[in-house]
Amino acid sequence: MPLATPHYLIDENALDRNLAKVDRLRALSGAKCVFALKAFATWSTFAQIAPHMDGSTSSSLNEVKLGREKFGGETHAYSVAWSDDEIDEAIANADKVIFNSISQFERYAAKAAHLPVGIRVNPGISHSHFDLADPARPFSRLGERDPQRIESVMDRASGFMIHCNCENDSFESFSALLDQFEAKLGHFFERLDWVSFGGGLHFTGEGYALEALAARLKAFAERYQLQVYLEPGDAVVTQTTTLEVSVLDIVDNEKQIAIVDSAVEAHMLDLLVYRETAHVEPDAGPHRYVIAGKSCLAGDVFGEFDFPEALKVGDRISLLNAGGYTMVKKNWFNGVNMPAIAIRRKNGDVELVRSFDYADYVASLS
Ligand SMILES: *Cc1c(COP(=O)(O)O)cnc(C)c1O
């Protein structure tokens, strides 16, 4: 019997295709890749992903602990702000600690003196299409910008983390940014053991100039005699996962609207945040429908697509590219059933790895 909807369906073969590119980039460039758990923390898949990466990176104590416990390799501990209550546990579970500000560095770096410690640096430039996700936006709190303040920790910092890319699918754009980093920060790079260029490089995408990226990173590492890191999140899981939903009702209001057993805000939140639409395949044919969720939000719309056949109640729809930043953001808004998580194994078998029920909903509140 097919699995009930809604569920996220992760495809192991698709994941392997991305991981082969991660491997290729690491081999050609010498750069280390640590997985950004904030994009995808579905730990059932870590046994497949971890052998192709050098470890994980984090944005909170919980992610540090998950990385240590379930991912292995190097565990990078970064957070926009650590609290006094969590810093000791973060350090105890980390192989490297990265502070977001000089004040956090001064407050906690001595506790981590036995580990490599770094500082997030904000060069004030970025590749981002969205102000909301732009680390270089005015008044950004993400990383230190002042060279004098950076200088004040250079005696203790062994590396920098610079995360300025969001969904950057162009090597040329990254390379131009890197030129600017070098112009601004090259005199610091010479004194460091490592530099991380963060996430956001879509090097697993179709047609990305992966070899050129590798050559650029390798030359950079040689020039400054340091270890380069990347922190891919979405690039590892892009195009690996679908959100499987079923049609519950079809209504007509100048357009045909198919209501499905999911909700954008609860299960694919970034579509709303970044004003994007979902995708289906083939998205061709004579029957056009708005695919909408079952929450009470008027704008709970996944998108408008063309189908080869007329839809009917009970039909299944696969919403594509539902891996990165979906499961880590899912919530119980409207009490809509939480999608289960399933994995399509390499032999084609679909295995349910987690399901959620009323008890989980109740347990999420009190
Ligand atoms: C979000 C983030 C990442 C991962 O970004 P992706 O776009 O998912 O690759 C890596 N590092 C830092 C510091 C981040 O904030």
Ligand 1 pocket test, candidate residues 129, 141, 163, 164, most atoms within 8 A of CB: 163
Tell me how far the alpha carbon of residue 200 lies from the centroid of ligand 1, in angstroms.
Answer: 6
36 C-beta closer than 6 A to ligand 1:
yes
118 C-beta closer than 6 A to ligand 1:
no
Start-to-end CA distance of the chain, whole Å, equals: 35
39 C-beta closer than 6 A to ligand 1:
yes
CATH for 13-237, among 3.20.20.10, 3.40.50.300, 2.60.40.420, 3.30.365.10? 3.20.20.10
Spatial distance between the Cα atoms of 106 and 271, rounded to a whole number of angstroms: 39
Task: Find the helix packing angle between 171-189 and 210-224, rounded to 10°.
Answer: 10
Q: Whose CA is nearest to atom 1 of ligand 1?
A: 199
CA 288, chain centre distance (Å): 32
Q: Is the peptide bond before 51 cis (omega within 30 degrees of 0)?
A: no
**What confidence category does residue 302 fall into, taking pLDDT thresholds of 50, 70 and 90?**
very high
Residue listed under structure tokens 């198919």:
258
**What confidence category does residue 130 fall into, taking pLDDT thresholds of 50, 70 and 90?**
confident
Is-same-fold flag (13-237; 241-322+330-363)? no
Q: How large a percentage of the chain has pLDDT more than 70?
A: 100
Tell me which architecture the domain covering 241-322+330-363 has in CATH: Beta Barrel (2.40)
Q: pLDDT per residue over 75-121, tens digit each?
A: 999 999 999 999 999 999 999 999 999 999 999 999 999 999 999 99
Q: pLDDT per residue over 307-320, tens digit each?
A: 999 999 999 999 99
Spatial distance between the Cα atoms of 12 and 220, rounded to a whole number of angstroms: 33
- Cβ–Cβ contacts within 10 Å for residue 362, how many? 10
233 C-beta closer than 6 A to ligand 1:
yes
Tell me how far the alpha carbon of residue 59 lies from the centroid of ligand 1, in angstroms.
Answer: 9
Q: Does the global pTM surpass 0.95?
A: yes
Q: Whose CA is nearest to atom 2 of ligand 1?
A: 199
Total H helices, total E strands in the chain: 12, 16
CA angle 108, 232, 276 (to 5 degrees): 115
344 C-beta closer than 6 A to ligand 1:
no
200 C-beta closer than 6 A to ligand 1:
yes
Q: Where are the domains of the chain?
A: 13-237, 241-322+330-363
**What confidence category does residue 68 fall into, taking pLDDT thresholds of 50, 70 and 90?**
very high
Residue listed under structure tokens 């052998």:
51
- Residue 234 is assigned to a ligand binding site: no
Given a contact cutoff of 8 angstroms between Cβ atoms, the answer to whether 224 and 256 are in contact is no
